């Protein structure tokens, strides 16, 4: 009898923990600031009212043009073999060729898992933007070029916000600002965003993706067998 009671108590505690985790909200705060060619950025992840907290410092980003691309430099601490290898490869270059390769693999991924976009849209509908502030100061020293870049920057910002606005919920309207500099060369920005979602929705989204990935692999294997036959 005591064993049954103990089992029921443990089962009740387990169910309570599962429900608690399922409905727990995750808060992600992203802060990035570039001023006077100095980068500073971090990502803060918290849950359970701040009892669980993680903090990740974003690496430094150096922009040298589209041909050279941008170079990402980060600091890795630790004495393990993986950490030492990461130190040796601490610089990552992203240029035109890298973006083309990424685009190719992305389209291949989407074609293979045709439900990818549907799952992403479903998850975004469960995300709430609590805050979004994005201020940019841009200029090349030439008035005409600065005007063109300002228009391009506005286009990028409004396109991104328009995409997310189709699916996500906003607690307050996003604050977007661009300050063109016509007499000097400058690229400075301030980005601050806070989003929130439930752990249960993230679990369901991951489960859907894994299911579609398995279905996609099975379909591809079957098509290959038919082709060989």
3-state secondary structure 122-146: HHHCCCEEEEEEEEEEEEECCHHHH
- pLDDT top residue among 5 and 150: 150
Give yes or no for a contact between 131 and 171, defined as CB atoms under 8 angstroms apart: yes
pLDDT of residue 144: 86
SS3 168: coil
How confident is the model over 93-118, as pLDDT tens digits? 555 566 567 666 666 666 655 667 78
pTM listed for this prediction: 0.68
> Which one, of 138, 120, 57, 68, lies nearest residue 99 by Cα?
68
Q: Which two tokens stand for residue 131?
A: 């805050």
pLDDT given at position 23: 86
- 74: pLDDT strictly greater than 90: no
pLDDT for the residue 86: 41
Residues 125, 167: contact at Cβ < 8 Å? yes
CB 177 within 8 A of CB 134: yes
Band of pLDDT at residue 90, cut at 50, 70 and 90: very low
Alpha carbon distance 140, 131 (integer Å):
30
Q: How confident is the model at residue 229 (pLDDT cuts 50, 70, 90)?
A: very low
Which has the higher per-residue pLDDT, 73 or 183? 183
Alpha-helical regions (H) of the chain: 2-22, 81-88, 96-112, 116-124, 143-165, 199-228
pLDDT (tens digit per residue) in 124-166: 999 999 999 999 998 888 888 888 889 989 999 999 999 898 8
Q: What is the pLDDT of residue 187?
A: 85
Strand 91-94 and strand 25-35: pairing?
Answer: unpaired
Instruction: Give 140's strand partners.
Output: 185
* Token code pair at residue 67: 């041909």
**Buried b / exposed e across 151-190, counting CB within 10 Å, b at 16+?**
eebeeebeeebeeeeeebeeeeebebebebbeeeebbbbe
pLDDT of residue 81: 41
């Amino acid at each position: 009898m005591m064993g049954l009671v103990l089992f029921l108590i443990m089962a009740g505690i387990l169910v309570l923990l599962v429900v608690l985790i399922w409905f727990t909200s995750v808060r992600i705060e992203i802060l990035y600031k570039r001023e006077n060619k100095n980068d500073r950025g971090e990502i803060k992840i918290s849950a359970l009212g701040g009892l669980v907290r993680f903090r990740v410092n974003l690496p430094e980003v150096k922009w040298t043009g589209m041909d050279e691309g941008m170079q990402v430099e980060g600091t890795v601490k630790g004495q393990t073999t993986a950490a030492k290898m990461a130190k040796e490869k601490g610089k990552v270059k992203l240029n035109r060729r890298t973006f083309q390769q990424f685009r190719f693999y992305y389209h291949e991924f989407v074609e293979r898992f045709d439900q990818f976009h549907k799952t992403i849209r479903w998850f975004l509908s469960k995300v709430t933007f609590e805050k979004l502030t994005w201020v940019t100061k841009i200029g090349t020293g030439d008035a005409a070029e600065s005007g063109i870049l300002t228009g391009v920057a506005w286009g990028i910002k409004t396109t991104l916000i328009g995409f997310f606005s189709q699916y996500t919920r906003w607690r307050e309207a996003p604050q977007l600002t661009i300050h063109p500099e016509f007499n000097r060369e400058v690229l400075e920005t301030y980005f601050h965003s806070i989003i929130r979602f439930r752990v249960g929705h993230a679990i369901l989204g991951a489960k859907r993706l894994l299911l579609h990935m398995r279905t996609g692999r099975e379909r591809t294997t079957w098509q290959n067998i038919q082709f060989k036959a």
